[in-house]
Structure 1
Amino acid sequence: MAMDPSGERDWAGQWDQMFEVLSAEPRREIIRSLLKEPQERRLSLLEAAASPNQSMDSETLAIQLRHHHLPKLAEVGYVRWEKDPFCVQRGPNFEEPAFIIGTVVDSIDEIPDSLINNCKIFRRMTDDDTN
């Protein structure tokens, strides 16, 4: 990401990077899972990244997490993770993606139906609100 002479990060690049990192469901699920937990709490990665929208076995998910998703999240400081035990916790910049994911979750009733209908996570959330 571009830095100006004062050492400031390029604000547009920072937003672009955040949306790129949040573009994959396992990464969004990790952030969403961590939102519910205290800062110091560690979560099992397979549980934190699992989604009813995904149909992959845990071994495949673990490989994708280790080699693709976790490096992207950790590189920008959104999470810290460990290989053994395979767990994740909030990183120093967690508040950035937490703001976006938290705003979406808090605004579930305002999300257009076209974005909710095929998403099992959002459907569960809206079903829970009506019960």
Structure 2
Amino acid sequence: MDIGCKSVNQSTDWETMMTVLADRSRRRLLMNLIEHNPQEERVNIPEGVQIGEEELEVLQTEFVHNHLPKLEEEGYIRWKRDSHEVVKGPKFDEIRPLLELISNHRNELPDGWI
């Protein structure tokens, strides 16, 4: 039946979105893209996440080798490596409702979630 197949796809999409949103840095990057598109990845290390220069360098490395490739693979962003830009990807609108839900209720969430 189509319904069963559709449920599996929806479940897979939900699990993918939850996996992507499980990381605070990825959440903040995607939330920033709602209002600011494109973004330079070097500037996109979320404020308040890094502590000093060493932590910033670690985060930049994590973005380049982990976060940006994962978000690009899922289609939520397009990463223009040559110009260091991150823009909304073809599947960004699929995750947008969750990002907006988080943003609209940010004052109700525990500290550190966003």
TM-score interval for Structure 1 and Structure 2 normalised by the shorter chain? 0.7 to 0.9
The structure with more radius of gyration: 1
Check whether the contact 1:22–1:97 (CA below 8 A) recurs between aligned residues: no
Instruction: Quote the Cα distance in structure 2 between the aligned partners of 1:31 and 1:68.
Output: 15
Shift, 1:69, TM fit = 0.5
Greater shift, 100-109 or 7-16, is seen at: 7-16
Deviant stretches of 4+, over 4 Å: none
Cross-structure match for 1:42:
38
Check the 8 A contact 2:77/2:92 in 1, yes or no.
yes
Q: TM-score, normalised by structure 1?
A: 0.70
Note the C-alpha offset of 1:93: 0.6
Alignment partner, residue 86 of structure 1: 84
Judged with a 3 Å threshold, the aligned counterparts in structure 2 of structure 1 residues 73 and 80 are, in CA distance, closer, same or farther, namely same
CA distance in 2 between partners of 1:22 and 1:54 (Å): 19
- Specify the alignment match of 2:10 in structure 1: 11
The answer as to whether partners of 2:50 and 2:59 remain within 8 angstroms in 1 is no
Give the residue type in structure 2 aligned to 1:105. S
Aligned CA RMSD, in angstroms, stands at: 2.3
Aligned-pair CA distance for 1:88: 0.1
Maintained 8 Å contact 1:27/1:49? no
Ranked by relative contact order (alpha carbons within 8 Å, sequence separation 6 or more), the top structure is 2
% identity of equivalent residues: 27
1:59-78, CA deviations, whole angstroms, 9 ceiling, x for partnerless residues? 32222111111111011110
- Higher fraction of helix: 2
Contact conserved, 1:53 with 1:120, CA < 8 A, in 2? Answer: no
Q: Which runs of 5+ in 2 are unaligned?
A: none
Normalising by structure 2, what TM-score? 0.79
Kindly state the Cα deviation for residue 18 of structure 1 after the two structures are TM-superposed.
Answer: 0.7
1:53 aligns with 2:49: yes
Cα distance, 1:120 vs. partner?
8.6
